[in-house]
Structure 1
Amino acid sequence: MDFQEYLNLQHRTFVQYYRCLSMSLLNKESVDENGNWVIMPPSALDRLSRLNVEYPMLFQIQNPGTERVTHCGVHEFVAEEGFIHMPTRLMAHLGVQENELVLVRNTLLPTATFVKLQPHTTDFLDVSHHKELLEYNFRKFICLTAGETIVVTEGERRYHLDVLEAQPADAVRTMDTDCAVDFAPPLDYVEPPPAPAPAPVASQANGEAPRFTGFAARMDGKPVEQAPPAPVPVGRQGDQPRQPAQFTGVAARVDGKPVELPPPAPSPAAASAGALGAPKSKVRFGAPSAAGSGNGRGVSKAEAAGGKEQEKRFTLGELKELTFIGIELLSILILHLLTIAKFAHFVPKYSRAAVLAPGGGPLPGRPWIGGGGGGRGGGGTAGVQARAARRGRAALRLGRRGADPCGWAGIACSAAGEVTGVKLHGLNLHDELSAAVCVLPRLAVLNVSRNALAGAVPPGLAACAALEVLDLSTNVLHGAVPPELYVLRALRRLFLSENLLAGEIPAAIGNLTALEELEIYSNNLTGKIPASIRTLRRLRVIRAGLNDISGPIPVELTECASLEVLGLAQNNLAGELPQELARLKNLTTLILWQNALSGEVPPELGSCTNLQMLALNDNAFTGGVPRELAALSSLLKLYIYRNQLDGTIPPELGNLQSVLEIDLSENKLPGIIPGELGRIPTLQLLYLFENRLQGSIPPELAQLSSIRKINNLTGMIPTAFQNLVGR
């Protein structure tokens, strides 16, 4: 989800980024670590109540890096602000660690009608009361998601079950419903070998004893002279015809094709295991409780469709293909060490930790990503191959094979064959980032976003003198941004968002005079915005929300004449909003919600005629809504809710002919609702609840279709309101 989509959803649904922590850190006995219940902060309850979210509250939790999802319910709202406590099982399923970001949004799930489960071990076959066991344990789960692993317990015994399939959707609600449950054979189930067929016994139709059909042997070891078989009399009077013996040899076709033999009869053990494949009687899922357990383990639908475990097998050609893809991907990384201007040589023998010299020893240096097999997912060529297989070979398929990297996916070259761009985003790369990539003298774009790179931002990236775009967003980088990074005079776009970066924004940022976009939101940055930012005259976008930046908004920021987007939401900014913001004639988006800003809303903002979104909610602004805001002819969304506004609503707001949403709720606005608001033809949302408004509802508002809440009003509701068809 990009930043703009995240903002657009704020007023329609609950959607919020949180840093996840395990449930065990709370040390609360009332919460079971093993269920699929989470604990959220108190602000979430306030937000959910405001949105009138239906009960039971269900949530989708997503890993932004891998887009893997799970679903859960909420147990309490007592977590620290900005954090969500989750069971270890859910964290493992999502592939997230402590303090990593997850995206939480409320959702509605259909009621479960069918669930297919696969036990991990055959000891689950010994349970004689599957229905009762599931009905008891499913009180712990309010919902199920296909691909996750749950744990059911009986005394001290724990049974891990993979959720192979759920109907009518991949995620279903399991509270108070009758649901059909089917089982697949256990993961460790082994088909027993077929019993050997009994040897045929010849019989005589006339009742005589059967002839000896074995082999003779002499005690002195000499060979036995076998007599020729006697001819069988046929058709003699009074004789019964012999019955032909059943053929017990090996069949073969004249054309050499294989013979299709009928399958052997199933053994009793196999029949017992196969019984798990038959649908059980319906299981009653009762009201859930906050308990449960498990390890995150996914099962693909391809495995679920067969009714038994489908072991992943590759042909020899596929194995060669995967191996070649893994080697080619690593070739990209190693060649960064060996190339100065052009890629002229290729070293095929290497590991992730070092390139091997002809004598077998390591050459100096290291690949620019990786460092000896650490991190999740393993190291070396096998680790890359495994990740390539998981994410699909098409994601890593290279355009042309050979030593020249200019034909490889993710590599851009100039007409002269010099590498100018490395784009390896979303490949689940692990370990640390190295500055060895800077041996490429014409490198202009480095994008390794949406991976799992850890460690600090290497100061050696300052050697990438030609770098124009640096995108390290959505990783797990930590520590301070190195000051050496601010000598990149050619840098135009710097993306460091969604990491664990800390420290202050240094004054040296003023050296990046070519900078056009700066995105550092969702980190742990502190301190004040430096006054040196005034030198960034080309800066168009600043997104630094969801940090811990404090102090006032500096007046020097208004000297960034090209600024179009200013996003500083969810920080600790204080003081008054500078009137000098009126200088920003190109400003289209001003997002300052959830800070500690105070004073009056500057009427000078009415001079920002290109403004489309003004979000000042969740602050401490006082006074009234400036009537000058009516001059914002391009304004689409006006959010000043949850402040201390105590002036009347200006009727001039009716001149906003393009606005879609106005939210002035949860203030202290007195007086009446101006009827001029009914003249806004595009208005879709009008929130005025929890104010001190009086008087009757103006009949002009009957032209609007999205009035939600209006309180403390008297008088009759106009009859024209019966024509409203909005939500």
Structure 2
Amino acid sequence: MQAWLQGMGLPMGGGHMGRYDQTFVVYGAVFLPNATQSKITEINYGGKILLPTSALDLLLRMNIQYPMLFKLTNMARQRVTNCGVLEFSAPEGQAILPHWMMQQLGLDDGDTLRIESATLPKATFAKLKPMSLEFLNISNPKAFLEVELRKYACLTKNDLIPTSYAGQSLEFLVVDLQPANSVCIIECDVNLDFDTPEGYVEEPRQASTAANVKPPAPPASAFLGAGQAVGGSGSVAPPTTVFGGAGRRLDGKKKPASSVSLSSAAGASTSSAADVVNDLPAIPPVVVNEDYKSGRVSFVRYDYKRVDVLEKELREREAREKSNPSKLFQGGNRTLRGAR
């Protein structure tokens, strides 16, 4: 009897917690009897397996703690991962695993797998690496993973877990976990971080031009008077003669000698304008204040009132005027003969 209990993994005391340790033949979700497409998708996009009903009976008698977590070991390749249990509806002697878990453990349909009960600490930190650039199209990745990770009971470092987003599969590599390499993510607060997506190349940053660089001050010669030359000699360019020549009259008579020709008038006006310009003082060069310090600008706010308030005040004033008639031109009248 004792040998049989030890072979079944039951504790000798009968009522104490024991350690579950069994070997099963594993198959993918497509081998589950009467499995629908939605059921297959639920299994493949999650971190939970299906065990037979006899496993549930044995686990209840062993007083296994909840949540039920298991350690999966491929003895042939020495690969290990952890998982939870979804249902106890697998055929006897078989375990149904998600497709990604079979790839992670290097298993094929019909291989044997060792399944042990496990106790994992609560997760406090998890860092995931997206394996596709499609991850950048997710508007709120943390909210998305908060929903998708509910399908998983635990995480193991270096696992490649799949998720479903907008009808396509997105895979995430578990890069780092705290406080251990295998953690439970049920009913716990996890600080989630993301690594750079696989294949992402950051564009080189272009050297930004200095926006605050002040341009050099223009030369002083640019601010001299209009009638002064750059060299400061004060020479004025000779005026141009506009409409030069002698005038003619329609009656054929000669133009009086006392009249001033257009050319002389133009020359006189040009010379007088040049004299006036030469008398103007030169504009000093602009000096840039390098020690300028910003101050405060006060914006005056006028006491504006809303339209409804103004209309209300106007109606009240009109009502007061009607209730209190004007006292203008009131009093008694007088005549030259005396009071009437």
Q: CA deviation at 1:85?
A: 1.0
Letter paired with 1:24? V
Do the aligned partners of 2:100 and 2:162 also contact (CA within 8 Å) in 1?
no
Q: CA deviation at 1:193?
A: 2.5
2-structure distance, mates of 1:10, 1:207? 99
Q: CA deviation at 1:7?
A: 6.2
Which secondary structure does the structure 2 equivalent of 1:178 belong to? Answer: coil
Q: CA deviation at 1:64?
A: 0.6
Which secondary structure does the structure 2 equivalent of 1:144 belong to? Answer: strand
Unaligned runs of 5+ in 1: 1-5, 210-237, 241-727
Alignment pair present for 1:149 and 2:160: yes
Runs of 4+ in 1 over 3 A off after TM superposition: 6-12, 196-199, 201-209
Which secondary structure does the structure 2 equivalent of 1:98 belong to? Answer: coil
Q: CA deviation at 1:152?
A: 2.5
1-structure distance, mates of 2:220, 2:154? 72
Do the aligned partners of 2:49 and 2:85 also contact (CA within 8 Å) in 1?
yes
Do the aligned partners of 1:36 and 1:72 also contact (CA within 8 Å) in 2?
yes
1:189 corresponds in structure 2 to 200
Kindly tell me: are residues 107 and 142 of structure 1, through their superposed partners in 2, closer, same or farther at Cα, counting changes over 3 Å? same
1:139 corresponds in structure 2 to 150
Q: CA deviation at 1:205?
A: 4.7
1:164 corresponds in structure 2 to 175
Alignment pair present for 1:13 and 2:37: no
Alignment pair present for 1:94 and 2:101: no
Kindly tell me: are residues 131 and 203 of structure 1, through their superposed partners in 2, closer, same or farther at Cα, counting changes over 3 Å? closer
- Out of 55, 66, 86, the residue aligned to residue 75 of structure 1 is 86
Q: CA deviation at 1:10?
A: 6.3
Which secondary structure does the structure 2 equivalent of 1:136 belong to? Answer: helix
Alignment pair present for 1:51 and 2:77: no
1:644-655 matches, cutoff 5 A: none
Alignment pair present for 1:22 and 2:37: no
Do the aligned partners of 2:19 and 2:117 also contact (CA within 8 Å) in 1?
yes
2:337 corresponds in structure 1 to none
- Out of 119, 126, 130, the residue aligned to residue 137 of structure 2 is 126
1-structure distance, mates of 2:195, 2:219? 51
1:586-601 matches, cutoff 5 A: none
Letter paired with 1:59? F
Letter paired with 1:177? C
1-structure distance, mates of 2:200, 2:152? 27
Which secondary structure does the structure 2 equivalent of 1:47 belong to? Answer: helix
Kindly tell me: are residues 208 and 156 of structure 1, through their superposed partners in 2, closer, same or farther at Cα, counting changes over 3 Å? farther
Which secondary structure does the structure 2 equivalent of 1:133 belong to? Answer: helix
Do the aligned partners of 2:155 and 2:185 also contact (CA within 8 Å) in 1?
yes
Q: CA deviation at 1:46?
A: 2.3
2-structure distance, mates of 1:28, 1:208? 91
Which secondary structure does the structure 1 equivalent of 2:189 belong to? Answer: strand
Q: CA deviation at 1:123?
A: 2.7
Q: What do you get for the CA RMSD once the two structures are aligned?
A: 3.3
1:516 corresponds in structure 2 to none
Q: CA deviation at 1:140?
A: 0.9
1-structure distance, mates of 2:50, 2:23? 14
Do the aligned partners of 2:123 and 2:179 also contact (CA within 8 Å) in 1?
yes
Letter paired with 2:43? E
Letter paired with 2:144? L
Q: CA deviation at 1:186?
A: 0.5
Q: Percent identity?
A: 34
2-structure distance, mates of 1:20, 1:137? 25
Do the aligned partners of 1:38 and 1:85 also contact (CA within 8 Å) in 2?
yes
Do the aligned partners of 2:22 and 2:116 also contact (CA within 8 Å) in 1?
yes
Kindly tell me: are residues 195 and 48 of structure 1, through their superposed partners in 2, closer, same or farther at Cα, counting changes over 3 Å? same
2-structure distance, mates of 1:208, 1:183? 60
Q: CA deviation at 1:178?
A: 1.7
Letter paired with 2:205? P
Answer 1 or 2: higher relative contact order, Cα 8 Å, separation at least 6. Answer: 2
Letter paired with 2:121? P
Do the aligned partners of 1:61 and 1:102 also contact (CA within 8 Å) in 2?
yes
Kindly tell me: are residues 83 and 208 of structure 1, through their superposed partners in 2, closer, same or farther at Cα, counting changes over 3 Å? farther
2-structure distance, mates of 1:43, 1:198? 73
Q: TM-score, normalised by structure 2?
A: 0.55
Do the aligned partners of 1:38 and 1:87 also contact (CA within 8 Å) in 2?
yes
Kindly tell me: are residues 108 and 205 of structure 1, through their superposed partners in 2, closer, same or farther at Cα, counting changes over 3 Å? same
Q: CA deviation at 1:116?
A: 0.6
Q: CA deviation at 1:101?
A: 1.6
Do the aligned partners of 2:10 and 2:62 also contact (CA within 8 Å) in 1?
no
1:190-339 matches, cutoff 5 A: 190-195=201-206, 204-205=216-217, 207=219
1-structure distance, mates of 2:141, 2:214? 49
Which secondary structure does the structure 2 equivalent of 1:138 belong to? Answer: helix
Q: CA deviation at 1:159?
A: 2.1
Kindly tell me: are residues 9 and 49 of structure 1, through their superposed partners in 2, closer, same or farther at Cα, counting changes over 3 Å? closer
Which secondary structure does the structure 2 equivalent of 1:33 belong to? Answer: helix
Letter paired with 1:42? T
Report the count of equivalent residues: 210
Deviation digits for residues 355-409 of structure 1 (CA, Å, limit 9, x no counterpart): xxxxxxxxxxxxxxxxxxxxxxxxxxxxxxxxxxxxxxxxxxxxxxxxxxxxxxx
Which secondary structure does the structure 1 equivalent of 2:59 belong to? Answer: helix
Letter paired with 1:88? H
2-structure distance, mates of 1:184, 1:55? 32
Q: TM-score, normalised by structure 1?
A: 0.27
Kindly tell me: are residues 207 and 118 of structure 1, through their superposed partners in 2, closer, same or farther at Cα, counting changes over 3 Å? farther
1:696-711 matches, cutoff 5 A: none
Q: CA deviation at 1:108?
A: 1.0
Alignment pair present for 1:40 and 2:51: yes
1:410-489 matches, cutoff 5 A: none
Kindly tell me: are residues 8 and 51 of structure 1, through their superposed partners in 2, closer, same or farther at Cα, counting changes over 3 Å? closer
Moved more, 71-80 or 168-177: 71-80
Kindly tell me: are residues 43 and 208 of structure 1, through their superposed partners in 2, closer, same or farther at Cα, counting changes over 3 Å? farther
Kindly tell me: are residues 184 and 203 of structure 1, through their superposed partners in 2, closer, same or farther at Cα, counting changes over 3 Å? same
1:614-693 matches, cutoff 5 A: none
1:331-370 matches, cutoff 5 A: none
Which secondary structure does the structure 1 equivalent of 2:35 belong to? Answer: coil
Do the aligned partners of 1:24 and 1:33 also contact (CA within 8 Å) in 2?
no
1-structure distance, mates of 2:187, 2:214? 65
Letter paired with 1:65? A
